[in-house]
Chains A and B, each alone.
Chain A
């Protein structure tokens, strides 16, 4: 049984924020934890046999520099963010390895908490070896009263080996003065499955990310889902990309975006490079208050036999839907919230129920606050 989580010196308000991003402080529904406050590693352990949760440093020592994985999915020269992290003498972050055939029913949680530091940087490597199944919930948040602002630079490299599966559910709850720059990429081998879910219902100054899944393997699968709300002052430049290389590879990229006055750039790119591949990209946006939703769906096919599609729609709440629910007895606010809740309700095929519940709970918090 893993130890309960302890964040030294965290106020009740900030503990609540940590819990709101899916961190189970009691560890009743988690099999492992990696917790990092600013640049300090607070906890790194896993009770599940066959799965290791290590700090980046420990993993480098134990596995001779993790040469097979480090900077193999993300290029250190990609941009200023990757160069910054690559230049660190003491890289922080976690390495999670699900060894061959292992399986965690209870997810592992990773919490990256930004308190005092100007820049929090992490380099994470996640590996599911052949036949392994790995479920991770990553909760990223900052203190409620981070006055001076800050930035989070996060490199994440995922390796889904043959017949393996990784689900990575990331919930963000930053503040109006935090800038966030995740850089992540995954490589998926034969029959591998990579699920990436992203939820951000709270204000953030700026977030920019464009995770990429390269589906190298035969019949490999990637599913990205993003559910986001942008409030005034928030600038969210989000995207996801799937490169279909293996025969029979398929990808689905789903986004639900709501602006209440902020900006959302919703990018998506599927590149079908091999016959027998399939991909679908979907972005639906709701403008509740004047703001920007800019959907840029791209599908690119270069061979006979790849099938790609996309749909994008941006609009307002339909009056006839609101009145329909009102005719059933809901007042206007209840009807509106019920429709928005439905709009955000994306069920992810293959995601464990516990993680789906956690995503739902994050949306519930936003609903209770009146969206």
Chain B
């Protein structure tokens, strides 16, 4: 599904990602862990195609196609989607209008889909204006449900969300990633940034990666890595790679 080879990325003059290699198969969900400022969000923004993130070396292949130089909307149309940790507020633009604008199927029942994530009363509100943490994440999930991407990137979907909302959001994301289907029938893939790991209860992740200082330094079982990090912190977790 997604193949990243020898990727180097700059923001302005500063290189923020160094020699990233990542391979996510169809139906797999990977978890990206790492301390604050390690480059996790930068990697997701780069994969999405945000203009601030300049790829200086390497390439990104999506479903076998080189998307390295494509703009964000071209990548979105090919099936890449992202849940933002802190999406912008857009004054005046109603959530319902945006959903209509991004919907590509006449069969989308937007009110019904909104109801499923308790956002039906937000359709006439400006996007993210005055939304709580949980509401922002439910809005993001709803947009992804309409967009229906094949590859879903989730930037801390549980941050700022209470336990009740985590269950709702986790279930919806699980459905987006076809976790309700047998492994062999899953076509959707995901890449998830998490600090707490709560979201993993709903996602059944396949592989974990630890990022530090703009590099992926460790791979393994996501729950084991998370357990190590919780017990020993990132410092020891990263040191183990060099033992």
Contact = CB atoms under 8 A, between A and B. Distances in A.
Given A327-B82, A328-B147, A329-B102, A339 B73 contact: no
A328 B100 CA distance: 11
B173 to A, nearest CB: 17
A327 B50 CA distance: 8
Contact of A330 (B49, B84, B91, B102): B102
B90 A323 contact: no
Interface residues of B, number: 28
B91 A343 contact: yes
Interface stretch (A181-189, A191-199, A314-322): A314-322
Interface in B42-62: 48-51
A326 interface: yes
Contacts of A323: 50-51, 72
A: interface residue count bin: 20 to 34
A324 interface: yes
A117 B164 CA distance: 69
A329 B147 contact: yes
Nearest to A313: B91
Nearest to A324: B88
B101 A334 contact: yes
A342 to B, nearest CB: 3
A92 to B, nearest CB: 38
Chain B interface secondary structure, helix, strand, loop or mixed?
mixed
Contacts of A326: 49, 71-73, 76
A335 B74 CA distance: 13
Given A327-B73, A328-B143, A329-B102, A342 B84 contact: no
B98 A328 contact: yes
B73 A318 contact: no
Contacts of A331: 71, 73
A29 interface: no
Interface string B137-166: 000000100010000000000000000000
B98 A325 contact: yes
B76 A328 contact: yes
Nearest to A284: B91
Nearest to B104: A329
B93 A341 contact: yes
Contact of A332 (B50, B73, B90, B147): B73
B92 interface: yes
Interface string B94-115: 1001100110100000000000
19 contacts: A319-B51, A320-B88, A321-B90, A323-B72, A327-B72, A327-B76, A329-B73, A329-B102, A329-B104, A329-B147, A334-B101, A338-B101, A339-B93, A341-B92, A342-B91, A342-B92, A342-B126, A345-B92, A345-B93
Given A327-B73, A328-B98, 6 more contacts: A284-B91, A321-B90, A326-B49, A327-B48, A328-B76, A343-B92
Sorted nearest first, the 8 A-B pairs with minimum C-beta distance are A342-B93, A342-B92, A326-B72, A329-B76, A328-B102, A326-B73, A345-B92, A327-B72
